[in-house]
Structure 1
Amino acid sequence: MINGVRFKVCGLTSLADAAAADACGADYLGFIFYQKSPRYISLESYHAMSAHLPHKPRVAVTVEPTTEEIIRLKAEGFDFFQFHFPHDTELSRVEHWSELITPNKLWLAPRVPPGEHLEPAMLALANTFLYDTYRAGTYGGTGQAGDWTRYKQLQKDHPRINWILAGGLTPENAVAALTETGARTIDVNSGVESVPGIKSAEKLKRLAQVLSTYKGALSRSPF
């Protein structure tokens, strides 16, 4: 945490990148197991380096996982599980995820088009929701900033939820995003890369530096 702001570095694919994320103060290390992502890492590759990773909470990220996929991910000992899915996914399926993972460890990231709304019952299935930039046909990693006004409203309307702001966050716009939204946790990915799938140690350092200048966040219990 830097000045009351927690942040996750997502899309890690190597020990070097994980070490760079740790060195800049990341609170969470994210690994993407969705094969269509340019930041995809196989479960076998993750397993091979897992014993050498920094001792920070690890987040398994994927899209619409099957029960079998969830079981395999759980076997790797992840601290949290971030699932992306269309906002109109059947509630029973999300309930199943919640039962398998538990609300404390589940981070839900529904892809919500402009003008659409979250299913109210879904909010009871996880303690944490990630709000990412909407782009049809993709799940995260767009490199584009999202609707910060909408994020702020969601955070206001549902204060029980731990909200994470994602989407096109960089060292250049992170403070503006935090100031406008009041977010207490952010997710960075493409905005701290040199090329897709490779993190930039320099950009991560700059992110830590700009967060150290931010004075707007209030401390909040970890989740």
Structure 2
Amino acid sequence: EYLDALPRDDWFKLRLTEEELNKQLERAEEQLKERRLELDERFEDKKRKLTQGDDLAPGVLKIVKVYLAIKRRIQPGDKMAGRHGNKGVISVIMPVEDMPYDESGNPVDIVLNPLGVPSRMNVGQVLETHLGAAAKGLGDRINRMLEEKRQAAEVRKLLNDIYNKVGSRKEDLDSFSDEEIMELAHNLRSGVPMATPVFDGAIEPEIKEMLKLAGMDESGQVT
């Protein structure tokens, strides 16, 4: 309430008991002044382009200038294009500890900028990404069952759901012995391999079923 009654320009005149906080306040004031000066310069530059007059040559009644581009420094996240139609988004390689992670602590491999998705990624590729997430989630679920020393019958039931509940191709897992079922489960701990045709791949309900089997949200979203 005290700050609301005080003019904004007087906020930085306040002094605190701790000297370190006063230094932080001074640094914030300097940064604000620099930012304000930069914005004022940009505003004046644009204003000058719109208002300045030109000396016309004899016989010329009007000159129209159209500014197609503004120069600025490229930074990660910007989309740029060359003269041959090639385009892309500037990316940056980050340490794995700085990447977002899910509730289990697994880091994200890649973060896409929305500017790079149009004309480069279609709905089918997004669904394939969800299918890959389901395959990884199924492997994690199998791994947890093995760590919990679950019975071979429980593992067999899950594998039967994975291989025979979705898709047209069926696998005869009943002919596998318990040892073979457990060996197969050990091979699937890092993820369940999946193959899907290019133009006739897995449909949305099938992908949702795989996500459900993996214990994940059917939307494919992870928080």
Question: TM-score, normalising length from structure 2?
Answer: 0.20
Q: Quick one: higher RCO (CA 8 Å, sep 6+), 1 or 2?
A: 1
Indicate the structure with greater strand content. 1
Larger radius of gyration: 2
Question: TM-score, normalising length from structure 1?
Answer: 0.20
Indicate the structure with greater helix content. 2
